[in-house]
């Protein structure tokens, strides 16, 4: 469930599972102006949610109170993306 914080329309709290339709609700909230997501009460996510959260730019939307298990998952995903970008850039430079 995604709920807006009373008194702060730019902050939302995710409670429980972030799976299925809840991911789209979260996407809509961020596109609607939410700039901070409190993830302290998240207890389950699916792959689409993790990939979407990993792609968020910190200057656009900050993740607050992210559980350690989710933080580690996001870190692995982001490192994998950076590593693929670096390998791709090296191949492009070799071809020049």
Q: What is the pLDDT of residues 71-89, one digit of tens each?
A: 999 999 998 876 666 666 6
- H helix intervals, 1-96: 21-31, 47-55, 68-94
- What's residue 61's pLDDT? 94
Residue 60 domain boundaries: 2-94
The CATH code of the domain that includes 7 is: 3.30.750
Q: How far apart are the C-alpha atoms of 41 and 94, rounded to whole Å?
A: 47
Query: Which segment of 7-21, 28-42, 67-81, 82-96 scores lowest on mean pLDDT?
Result: 82-96
Instruction: Tokens for 87, please give them.
Output: 């390998």
- What's residue 87's pLDDT? 63
Mean pLDDT of the chain: 88
Domain count, the chain: 1
Report pTM: 0.79
Alpha-carbon torsion angle 44, 49, 50, 56, nearest 10: -130
Q: How confident is the model at residue 5 (pLDDT cuts 50, 70, 90)?
A: confident
Q: How far apart are the C-alpha atoms of 23 and 28, rounded to whole Å?
A: 9
> Does residue 2 have a pLDDT over 90?
no
Q: How far apart are the C-alpha atoms of 62 and 34, rounded to whole Å?
A: 9
Instruction: Tokens for 3, please give them.
Output: 């709920």
């Amino acid at each position: 469930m995604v709920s807006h914080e009373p008194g702060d329309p730019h902050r939302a709290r995710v409670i429980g599972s972030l799976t299925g339709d809840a991911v789209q609700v979260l996407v809509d909230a961020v596109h609607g102006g939410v700039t901070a997501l409190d993830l302290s009460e998240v207890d389950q996510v699916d792959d689409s949610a993790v990939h979407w959260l990993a792609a968020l730019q910190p200057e656009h939307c900050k993740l607050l109170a992210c559980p350690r298990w989710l933080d580690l998952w996001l870190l692995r995903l982001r490192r994998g993306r950076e590593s693929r970008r670096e390998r791709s850039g090296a191949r492009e430079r070799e071809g020049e």
